[in-house]
Structure 1
Amino acid sequence: MGIPLPGEIGERAREILAGRLAPVPARDAATVVLLRDAPLEAYLLKRQPTMAFAAGAHVFPGGSVDPRDTDHAVAWAGPSPAAWGEIFHAGEATARGLVCAAVRETFEESGVLLAGRDAATVVADTTGDDWESDRLALIGRTLSFAEFLDRRGLVLRSDLLKAWGHWITPEVETRRFDTRFFVAALPSGQRTRDVGGEAARVAWMRPEAAIEAAESGEVLLMPPTLHTLTELAAFETIDDVFAHDRTITTVMPSAAEVDGGIVLTVPGLDYRGALAGRASARAERAGEARA
């Protein structure tokens, strides 16, 4: 079973499958699943309907790696770029850019900053006109992330991130991203805010509620977002998520011709199975409590 690819994108897929059209290269990108507890919820942004990529979809904060994200001037605390490279099977420079982009894009798209004065502290509040001015300067690329951290005497806290996944946009798309997924807990004292820009609205949602909303057609979730939420639906708390022994595998949906039509196949995508597993685990825990 796959996702039908009708019209223009279906014809593009046929051309690529036939070798008559070369796919565009994928750009390095990072995405961060912000989480909070009681109950476990994820932060989602609904992209503006006018966006060129994933228009109208609910997504996690994230975006492309800026060339300046690989700058060694970025103040750093936590696992090194080399260590992240081993996790993501990437070179040290690429890994540095991915982690920096993850932290920078999270701040740009949610106002949450995974940084502190040193390796043991985290910024407690990022509200106020001065923070907003810096956030807009980062978005406008008139300020680099290295300059932003240096100006405020902060270090990026890479230890506040956990590697979660690796998705590559299908070759049939005209805009493609080689995206590493991270998870992170909302730091104590900080709060997300509706920062506008690419987002039409923002919301905290339980993973299973977001999945059910997608199934009913209330929200649009791209396959990587849906897949990630199905995985997170199996956990009760942020501690459970971070304690999970995670192995990163690369997933790239692919187009195929089936019964004369073109479909997109997504390996391992089974949101119904995830919900069923969540319900089973809850029932088991309830039985243990009664016993």
Structure 2
Amino acid sequence: MALPEGFVPPEPPDPPAAPKDAATVVLVREGAEGTEVFLQRRVAGMAFAGGMTVFPGGGVDPRDSDVSVAWSGPEPGWWAERFGCSTGLARALVCAAVRETFEESGVLLAGPAADEVVGDTSRYADARSALVSRDVSLAEFLSDAGLVLRADLLRPWANWVTPEAEPKRYDTRFFLAAMPAGQRADAVTTEASEAYWRTPQQALADWREGRCGLLPPTWVTLTEVAECGGVRAALDAERGLGKVIPRLVRRDGRWRAVLPGEPGYEEAK
């Protein structure tokens, strides 16, 4: 995959930047033409992935590790085994996934009880703004609203790490979640210029025809979701979660991402 011009600096950082922990959520639903995914085009000029089409997500906040979060579903230790990290980090990653999804799309993976999920989330608009501004933590919001985090609505999907040549790097755990009934995903965020639902096939066609830009993790994930053949199959898929670290090569005057197992990966930086 060719990367956009200016995405890679002329001189890669030496030593490479340490990747920051992050979480991304692939929201899926059944549409008229099959499985659809929720996508956002990031505002052009942003420090990381400006102008690119991505899934909701972002970096882990220190308060995401708060043990007071009311929790339903697989415990942090279960997530730690899947992602190969500490229990504390696993807790923070799941909380970051729920928080970032709510902040960026208005979709809230929580409910008033362990077996319930909220419907219309507009009543939490003020809390959503307070989360974005970091005036409240996820734990504080859930406690005040009497809500339980629904970890059981998430599925571990992948673990991508930004190439070493890039100045901003993230160790991102990808999650999959079905769109909760009664909720709607929106574009009420300063980080996205537009947001929409597409089948993976449509999104990949947009990319091939130059209507959107996709980074390797997004491109690969869309391809994988398309291959599942449905939301239920995607949720039930057994996934390998080893870290995927693309490498960059300069070919035909452009930087291109090479994935593990592809020709030239071992020789690339």
Given the two structures, how large is their TM-score scaled by the length of structure 2?
0.91
Residue 235 of structure 1 aligns with an amino acid whose one-letter code is: C
| Distance across 2 between alignment mates of 1:239 and 1:89 | 25
Confirm whether residue 50 of structure 1 aligns to residue 45 of structure 2.
yes
Indicate if the aligned counterparts of 2:9 and 2:166 stay in contact, CA closer than 8 A.
no
Task: Show the 5 A alignment for 1:1-291.
Answer: 3=2, 9=8, 11-13=10-12, 21-38=14-31, 39-128=34-123, 131-256=124-249, 263-267=256-260
| Distance across 1 between alignment mates of 2:261 and 2:182 | 37
1:97-116 Cα deviation digits (max 9, x unpaired): 10000000000011010001
| Distance across 2 between alignment mates of 1:55 and 1:10 | 14
- List structure 1 segments (4+ residues) > 2 angstroms apart after TM superposition: 2-11, 255-264, 266-269
Aligned length: 260
| Distance across 2 between alignment mates of 1:4 and 1:47 | 16
Residue 83 of structure 1 aligns with an amino acid whose one-letter code is: W
Indicate if the aligned counterparts of 2:27 and 2:38 stay in contact, CA closer than 8 A.
yes
Indicate if the aligned counterparts of 2:105 and 2:189 stay in contact, CA closer than 8 A.
no
The 1:266/1:123 distance shift into structure 2, 3 A limit, reads same
Unaligned runs of 5+ in 2: 263-269
Given the two structures, how large is their TM-score scaled by the length of structure 1?
0.84
| Distance across 2 between alignment mates of 1:166 and 1:111 | 24
Residue 64 of structure 2 aligns with an amino acid whose one-letter code is: D
Residue 258 of structure 2 aligns with an amino acid whose one-letter code is: T
The 1:116/1:172 distance shift into structure 2, 3 A limit, reads same
**Aligned CA-pair RMSD:** 2.0
How far residue 263 of structure 1 moved from its aligned partner, in angstroms, is: 4.4
1:228-255 Cα deviation digits (max 9, x unpaired): 0010111232111112121212111113
How far residue 259 of structure 1 moved from its aligned partner, in angstroms, is: 9.0
How far residue 268 of structure 1 moved from its aligned partner, in angstroms, is: 6.2
Indicate if the aligned counterparts of 1:256 and 1:264 stay in contact, CA closer than 8 A.
yes
The 1:224/1:8 distance shift into structure 2, 3 A limit, reads closer
| Distance across 2 between alignment mates of 1:259 and 1:214 | 20
- Larger CA Rg, structure 1 vs 2: 1
1:4-44 Cα deviation digits (max 9, x unpaired): 7877836324xx6xxxx101110000000000103210000
1:43-91 Cα deviation digits (max 9, x unpaired): 0011001211101111000000000000101111100001100000110
1:235-291 Cα deviation digits (max 9, x unpaired): 23211111212121211111346699864312368xxxxxxxxxxxxxxxxxxxxxx
| Distance across 2 between alignment mates of 1:209 and 1:259 | 28
